[in-house]
Homo-oligomer: A and B are copies of this chain.
Amino acid sequence: MKKAILLLTSALLAVSAPAMAAPKPKAAATPVAPEAPEVTATKLRDAALKSNLAYDFVAELTTRFGARPAGSESERKAAEWSAAELKKMGFDNVRIESFPLQIWQRGAESLEIVGPFAQKIVVTALGGSGATPAAGVEGEAAIYETYAEFADSKADLTGKIVVILQPTVRTQTGQGYGVNSGSVRRQGPELARSRGAVGYVMRSLGTEDHRFAHTGATRFLGEQGLAALAMSPPDAEQFERLLKMQREGKAGPIRLKMLSTPTFKGAGTSQNVIAEIKGTKRPNEVIVIGGHLDSWDLGTGAIDDGAGVAITMAAAKVMLDQGVRPERTVRVVFWGSEEVSQPGDQGLSGANAYATAHAGDTHIAAAESDFGADVIYSLSLPKTDYPDFNKKLGIILYPLNIFVDRVVSTGGGPDTSPLNAKGVPVFDLQQNGTDYFDVHHTADDTLDRIDPKKMTQNVAAWAATVWMIANTEVVFQPTNGK
The chain A residues found within 8 Å of chain B, CB to CB, are: 59, 63-67, 74, 113, 116-120, 122, 209-212, 233-235, 237-238, 241-242, 245, 299-300, 442-444, 446-448
User: Is the beta-carbon distance between B242 and A119 smaller than 8 angstroms?
Assistant: no
Identify 17 new A-B residue pairs, CB closer than 8 A, beyond the known A63-B242, A66-B113, A66-B117. Answer: A59-B241, A63-B117, A63-B238, A64-B117, A65-B117, A65-B118, A65-B119, A66-B118, A66-B120, A119-B300, A209-B448, A210-B444, A211-B442, A211-B443, A211-B446, A234-B447, A237-B447
Chain B's closest residue to A237 (CB) is B448
A-B residue pairs in contact (CB < 8 Å), sample of 29:
A59-B241, A63-B238, A63-B241, A64-B116, A65-B117, A65-B118, A65-B119, A66-B113, A66-B117, A66-B118, A66-B120, A67-B119, A74-B118, A74-B119, A119-B300, A122-B443, A209-B448, A210-B444, A211-B212, A211-B299, A211-B443, A211-B444, A211-B446, A233-B448, A234-B444, A234-B446, A234-B447, A237-B447, A237-B448
**A-B residue pairs, 5 tightest by C-beta:** A66-B119, A234-B446, A211-B444, A234-B448, A211-B443
Q: What CA separation (Å) do A251 and B122 show in the bound complex?
A: 35
Which residues of B are found within 8 Å of A210, using beta-carbon distances? 210, 212, 444
- A299 nearest CB neighbor, chain B only: B211
- In the assembled complex, the Cα of A267 lies from the Cα of B122 at a distance in Å of 30
Contacts of A237 in B (CB 8 A): 446-448
Q: How far is the CA of A446 from the CA of B120 in the complex (A)?
A: 12
Chain B residues near A113 (CB-CB < 8 A): 66
Pick from B63, B116, B212, B443: contact of A245, CB below 8 A.
Answer: B63
Residues of B within 8 A of A118 (CB): 65-66, 74
Complex interface: chain B residues within 8 A of A241 (CB): 59, 63
CB distance from A426 to the nearest CB of B (A): 33
Find the B residue at minimum CB distance from A442.
Answer: B211
Whole-angstrom CA separation of A242 from B62 in the bound complex: 11
Q: A211-B299, A241-B59 are in contact. Are A67 and B120 (CB under 8 A)?
A: yes
| Residue among A65, A118, A233, A447 facing the most chain B CB atoms (10 A cut-off) | A118
CA distance A119 to B302 in the complex (A): 13
In the docked arrangement, what's the CA distance between A120 and B442, Å? 13
Q: In the assembled complex, which residues on chain B have CB atoms less than 8 Å from the CB atom of A66?
A: 113, 117-120
A443→B117 CA distance, assembly (Å): 17
Contacts of A209 in B (CB 8 A): 448
Determine the distance from Cα of A224 to Cα of B121 in the docked complex, in whole angstroms: 32
Shortest CB–CB separation between residue A374 and chain B, in angstroms? 16
Chain B residues whose C-beta falls within 8 Å of the C-beta of A447 in the assembled complex: 234, 237-238
Bound together, the chains give a CA A442 to CA B65 distance in angstroms of 26
Closest residue of chain B to A117, judged by CB? B64
- What CA separation (Å) do A113 and B67 show in the bound complex? 12
Nearest opposing residue in chain B for A302, CB measure = B234
A211 CA / B443 CA spacing, docked (Å): 7
CB proximity of A79 to chain B, nearest CB, Å: 15
A122 and B210 alpha carbons, distance in the complex (Å): 15
Distance (whole angstroms) from the CB of A203 to the closest CB of chain B: 13
Q: Give complex CA distance A211, B209 in Å.
A: 13
Measured in the bound complex, the distance between the Cα atoms of B232 and A212 in whole Å is 13
Chain B residues closer than 8 Å to A245, beta-carbon distance:
63
CB distance from A6 to the nearest CB of B (A): 58
Provide the bound-state CA to CA distance between A238 and B446, in Å: 9
Query: In the complex, which residues of chain B have a beta carbon less than 8 angstroms from the beta carbon of A74?
Result: 118-119
Which residues in B have their C-beta under 8 angstroms from that of A444? 210-211, 234
Q: How far is the CA of A444 from the CA of B212 in the complex (A)?
A: 8
Residue from the set A67, A113, A245, A300 with the largest chain B CB neighbour count within 10 Å? A300
Chain B residues with CB under 8 A of A211: 212, 299, 442-444, 446
With a cutoff of 8 Å between Cβ atoms, the chain B residues found around residue A64 in the complex are 116-117
Q: Give A209 to B119 CA distance when docked, in angstroms.
A: 26
The smallest beta-carbon distance between A21 and chain B, in angstroms, is: 51
> How far is it, in angstroms, between the C-alpha of A299 and the C-alpha of B210 when the chains are bound?
11
> Which residue of chain B has the shortest Cβ distance to A208 in the bound complex?
B210
Considering the chains assembled together, what is the distance between the CA atoms of A410 and B446 in angstroms?
41
